[in-house]
Structure 1
Amino acid sequence: MNNKAKKIIIFDDDEDILSICSYILEEQGWEVFTFTDCNNIIEKVSGIDPVVILMDNWIPDAGGIIATQSLKKDEHWKHIPVIYFSANSDIQLLADHAGAETYLAKPFDLEELERVINTVLVHN
């Protein structure tokens, strides 16, 4: 995987999750970009061109569902796999509604994070 292929964006307003996930993923050679809101999501994604996106459900302002749907409606960015993550018990329904490729329930362990990312990369 070349450097361009190792970019990941995490959208979450929880700074602890951002710092833990960033640390783990950077250790594995990812270039990690984080945002605490999903405003202007197309501009944010197009400025980075990631291979995978982690999307929190309760992200300001519009929320993860609308943000993910915006990406999935965009011809240029709809191919990027989105991993939806939330502590909500209906996470599978939320992820399906958003159009995300898969989901990760919070709290998650780091092996699970790696497994889910690797799964979407294999299928992409």
Structure 2
Amino acid sequence: MKKIMIFDDDEDILSICTYILEGEGWQVQSNLDCVDLVSKISLFKPDVIIMDNWIPDEGGVVATREIKSVDALKRIPVIYFSANSDIETLARQAGADLVFPKPFDLDALKEIVRKAQAMKL
């Protein structure tokens, strides 16, 4: 089964994304923070990661950089997820593979996740 991890501090967004992606056949693990980030990802072994910009404790830029600095994790596509108007710059600074702005359309969510899965690095 294909797996996705979502890091976002908004429980409503996590619920919506989980519902939509489970309907698309994904096994979803949602996280309200980035505590033990590397170990969580290493245990779950996701095919795709969605990372919010405003995620506690370290923020999306630092969290994404941490993921991309670990050899065993760096090939997992990371979708940078934010309502920040400068999302492109933040995603570039973080080393994310794709950008997905909030608010979002549900069909666009499905499409960006399919795109990320196809680019599995």
TM bin (shorter chain): over 0.9
TM-score (norm 1): 0.95
Q: Find the aligned partners of 2:40 and 2:17 in 1 and give their Cα distance.
A: 19
- Taking the aligned partners of 2:24 and 2:112, their CA distance within structure 1 comes to 14
Match of 2:31 in 1: 35
2:3 corresponds to which residue? 7
Q: Deviations over 1:62-115 (max 9, x none)?
A: 001100000100001000000000000000000111000011000000111111
Q: How far apart are residue 39 of structure 1 and its match?
A: 1.6
User: Does residue 74 of structure 1 match 2:70?
Assistant: yes
Structure 2: how far apart are the matches of 1:12 and 1:122?
23
Percent identity over the alignment is 54
Q: Which stretches in structure 1 are left out of the alignment for 5+ residues?
A: none
Q: Does 1:26 align with 2:22?
A: yes
The two structures have a TM-score, normalised by structure 2, of: 0.97
Query: Structure 2 residue aligned with 1:93, among 68, 82, 89?
Result: 89
* Correspondent of 1:111 among 101, 107, 110: 107
Task: Return the letter of the residue paired with 2:6.
Answer: I
Distance of 2:118 and 2:4 partners within structure 1: 15
8 A Cα contact 2:77 2:119, kept in partner: no
Matched, 1:122 2:84: no
Runs of 4+ in structure 1 displaced over 4 angstroms? none
Write the letter of the residue equivalent to 1:58. Answer: W
Structure 2 stretches of 5 or more lacking a match?
A: none
Instruction: Number of aligned residue pairs: give it.
Output: 120
Q: CA RMSD in A?
A: 0.7
